[in-house]
Amino acid sequence: MSGGACSIVWFRRDLRVEDNPALAAGVRAGAVVAVFIWAPEEEGHFCPGRVSRWWLKHSLAHLDSSLRSLGTCLVTKRSTDSVSSLLEVVKSTGATQLFFNHLYDPISLVRDHRAKEVLAAHGIAVRSFNADLLYEPWNVNDDQGGPFTTFAAFWEKCLSMPYDPEAPLLPPKRIISGNVSTCPSDRLVFEDESEKGSNALLARAWSPGWSNADKALTAFITGPLIEYSKNRRKADSATTSFLSPHLHFGEVSVRKVFNLVRNKQFLWANEGNKAGEESVNLFLKSIGLREYSRYLSFNHPYSHERPLLGHLKFFPWVVDGGYFKAWRQGRTGYPLVDAGMRELWATGWLHDRIRVVVSSFFVKVLQLPWRWGMKYFWDTLLDADLESDALGWQYISGTLPDGREFDRIDNPQFEGYKFDPHGEYVRRWLPELARLPTDWIHHPWNAPESVLQAAGIELGSNYPLPIVGIDAAKARLQEALSRMWQQEASSRAAIENGTEEGLGDSSESAPFAFPQDTQMEENLEPARNNAPATTRRYEDQMVPSMTSSLVGGEQEETSSDLRTFAEHSRAEVPRNVNINQEPRRDTLNQGIPQTVRNNNTFPQFNFPMGVGNAEDSTAESSTSSSRRERDGGVVPVWSPPAPSYSEQFIGDENGIGASSSYLQRHPQSHQIVNWRHLSQTG
């Protein structure tokens, strides 16, 4: 490459200068134009939520100042189409190369593939790198060369790969700036006036930015890491790494984390420190889960909206806006669940254990569609991460081969005494229960009247009775599961009869294919026929798959040029997909004021939209406004997920695609046996 070349380094979720392969490549190649493109419309309904945008704003400012101290700056562009913005930057700077780091969510896979094609067509040399994972998904294979379908096997393989993850790169000493004088930055707006107040509180607890991420990493490794194993079950302990938002935005390299942590492991192993070693294994496992979430997303790009086990699409979710709202507001009557939801509401943060508790309650007790819960997490979590959250919710929902059994309900009362034995966590987040003795703190409904009175609690008035009893939930769950199996069986029969062959009439299966969306739309527009004729529009597309990526050609696995890998891995990504197109948006947006619906207004998905009838503004005027002061913060606004772009990936509504091959690869899956049994007895 010629010394005078100018390259664009496209920053996305790799907001760091240290161990950033794309940046390093740009610096090596000559002059650098560092670019960040803010195109929230491209993300569909997974446009970042309020707290996430707050983080992004500060992280970008931090990155910009780092780049300035190195000799350049961060060019920011507001866009509705990243690829055209890249082209504009190319034209205005005269750059001849583009470097960026890989992402693995479905939107990025498609967009980045298109970016490569379009820019290459304009004569730009494009190279992309692994900066987010220990190993690229297509390099981690089982003995047959296929993708793993369980986490344990996947992680075991990662830890025993024949070659180590790349060693972290140092930050560049100096960056030669490309000519950006003719390439003005757009001012990016990440928060509106109504959000500023609540965001102000975030700065007290968090410091976005790559060098702060680095400090957080050091603090964790030299501090809480050694006791990680011992402390991990405490609901409100400050003993986690708190790295997840940093990791989400790529402020710290996971390879650096891995390296430093493993060094500690060797140290402690030599010292015979058993607890320390176990702590490291446990912490690395959580890093492994993050890896696995990317792996899963790459191999199953629709996994954030479709159950990986196909039969789950027949589950009759309870579509109840009232339940959903009670859950969001922390008014379910189960103190541990409610405390968690209030904490999430107020801080954008939840201990992993509590995430499991509240999401499990959501799916198993309330039986609300998991995608709603996932979307709410997306909108409210500071570390909202599509891949990780999809993995988490699929795990909880029993839709993974190695996930939890669906028919198991955890009892929040018992979990309460496990994770919060003295009730301190509950008392912190539920002031109305503050005076309740520990004996009753996790099951106030059993407390004697005298105790409640002394604690100033009137159940049903200042604290709710359980919204659903555990026994009732169990019964309803059994019934729902047997209904699910019936539906699955009749669908299977229909397929075998040939009535569902190929791309034929989808009206048989559609009502069950996406109950959550269907019902959601019914809420908004009850009369609507819910068998959309448009769902088969992308039937010719296949998902990116590791298998096919390897078929494409033999690669030396240690090749330092990852471009060829990436090319092959993306070979089957849909080409002609218009990300911005959401076929059923019009229907979904029924009843939303035109000004809000307008695509040009600031992130539409965080405007109050309500959830349908149950939150109709006339019905509950005091609480329906979606925004309400509480604990000094603005209540996160939730909006229903739009019908999704997954239809662009999936040609097959009947689970014949990846999800059923998933099943075929796991005939031994115990869940499946259980559920079969269930459907026969139920």
Partner DNA sequence: ATCATGTTCTT
Partner DNA sequence: AGAACATGA
Residues found near DNA in the complex (CB under 7 A): 150-152, 233, 285, 289, 292, 352, 356, 391-392, 395, 400, 402-405, 408, 418, 670
Q: In the bound complex, what is the minimum distance in angstroms from residue 373's beta carbon to DNA?
A: 14
Q: Does residue 661 have a known ligand-binding role?
A: no
Q: Does residue 228 have a known ligand-binding role?
A: yes
Q: Does residue 283 have a known ligand-binding role?
A: yes
Q: Which is nearer to DNA, 79 or 279 (CB)?
A: 279
Q: In the bound complex, what is the minimum distance in angstroms from residue 309's beta carbon to DNA?
A: 13
Q: What is the DSSP string of 638-672?
A: --PPPS-GGGGT---TTS-SHHHHHHHH-TT-HHH
Q: Which is nearer to DNA, 405 or 539 (CB)?
A: 405
Q: In the bound complex, what is the minimum distance in angstroms from residue 142's beta carbon to DNA?
A: 15
Q: Which is nearer to DNA, 54 or 228 (CB)?
A: 228
Q: Specify the DSSP element, H or E, that contains 194.
A: helix 193-205
Which alpha helices (H) appear in 223-349, and where do they start and end? 228-231, 244-248, 254-270, 274-299, 321-329, 335-347
Determine the Cα–Cα distance for residues 385 and 46; give it in Å rounded to an integer.
Answer: 10
Q: Does residue 219 have a known ligand-binding role?
A: no
Q: Which is nearer to DNA, 124 or 400 (CB)?
A: 400
**Can you state the angle between helices 386-396 and 370-380, rounded to 10 degrees?**
140
Determine the Cα–Cα distance for residues 515 and 140; give it in Å rounded to an integer.
Answer: 34
Q: Which is nearer to DNA, 22 or 400 (CB)?
A: 400
Q: Which is nearer to DNA, 72 or 659 (CB)?
A: 659
Q: In the bound complex, what is the minimum distance in angstroms from residue 412's beta carbon to DNA?
A: 14
Q: Which is nearer to DNA, 129 or 393 (CB)?
A: 393
- Closest by CA position to 32, among listed 50, 46, 20: 20
Rg of the chain in Å (alpha carbons): 25
The angle at the Cα of 241, spanning 238 to 247, to the nearest 5 degrees, equals: 140
Q: Does residue 383 have a known ligand-binding role?
A: yes
Q: In the bound complex, what is the minimum distance in angstroms from residue 478's beta carbon to DNA?
A: 11
Q: In the bound complex, what is the minimum distance in angstroms from residue 28's beta carbon to DNA?
A: 38
Strand partners, 34: 9, 74
Determine the Cα–Cα distance for residues 590 and 604; give it in Å rounded to an integer.
Answer: 14
Amino acid at 322: G
Q: Which is nearer to DNA, 411 or 661 (CB)?
A: 411
- Closest by CA position to 532, among listed 374, 640, 653: 653
Q: Does residue 241 have a known ligand-binding role?
A: yes
Write b or e for each residue in 20-37: b if 16 or more Cβ atoms lie within 10 A of its Cβ, otherwise e. bbbbbbbbebbbbbbbbb
Q: Does residue 324 have a known ligand-binding role?
A: no
Environment class of 422 (CB within 10 Å of its CB; exposed 0-12, middle 13-18, buried 19+):
exposed
Q: Which is nearer to DNA, 230 or 627 (CB)?
A: 230
- Residue 65 near residue 40 (C-beta atoms within 8 A): no
Q: Which is nearer to DNA, 417 or 445 (CB)?
A: 417
Q: Does residue 243 have a known ligand-binding role?
A: yes
Token readout for 234 is 């405490």
Q: In the bound complex, what is the minimum distance in angstroms from residue 282's beta carbon to DNA?
A: 7
Q: Which is nearer to DNA, 152 or 503 (CB)?
A: 152
Which sign, positive or negative, has the C-alpha torsion 15, 16, 20, 23?
positive
Q: In the bound complex, what is the minimum distance in angstroms from residue 233's beta carbon to DNA?
A: 6
- How far from chain centre, in Å, is Cα 551? 30
Q: In the bound complex, what is the minimum distance in angstroms from residue 679's beta carbon to DNA?
A: 16
Which letter does DSSP use for residue 553 in this model? Answer: -
Q: In the bound complex, what is the minimum distance in angstroms from residue 415's beta carbon to DNA?
A: 10
Q: Which is nearer to DNA, 92 or 281 (CB)?
A: 281
Q: In the bound complex, what is the minimum distance in angstroms from residue 644's beta carbon to DNA?
A: 21
Q: In the bound complex, what is the minimum distance in angstroms from residue 592's beta carbon to DNA?
A: 34
Query: If phi over 0 gives left and psi between -120 and 50 gives alpha, with beta otherwise, what is residue 398?
Result: left
- Residue 394 near residue 306 (C-beta atoms within 8 A): no
- Closest by CA position to 504, among listed 356, 651, 350: 651
Determine the Cα–Cα distance for residues 172 and 170; give it in Å rounded to an integer.
Answer: 6
Q: Specify the DSSP element, H or E, that contains 564.
A: helix 563-569
Strands 633-634 and 629-630: antiparallel
- Residue 255 near residue 168 (C-beta atoms within 8 A): yes
Q: In the bound complex, what is the minimum distance in angstroms from residue 395's beta carbon to DNA?
A: 3
Q: Specify the DSSP element, H or E, that contains 440.
A: helix 438-441
Q: In the bound complex, what is the minimum distance in angstroms from residue 256's beta carbon to DNA?
A: 23
Q: Which is nearer to DNA, 19 or 105 (CB)?
A: 105
Q: Does residue 362 have a known ligand-binding role?
A: no
- Within the chain, how many helices (H) and strands (E) appear? 29, 7
Q: How far are the Cα atoms of 105, 355, 441 from residue 456, in angstroms, in the given order?
A: 49, 29, 13
From first CA to last CA, the distance across the chain in angstroms is 68
Q: Does residue 292 have a known ligand-binding role?
A: no
With H, G, I as helix, E, B as strand and everything else as coil, classify residue 281.
Answer: helix
Q: Which is nearer to DNA, 150 or 660 (CB)?
A: 150
Bind-site residues for FAD? 228, 240-244, 283, 383-385
Q: State the binding site.
A: 228, 240-244, 283, 383-385
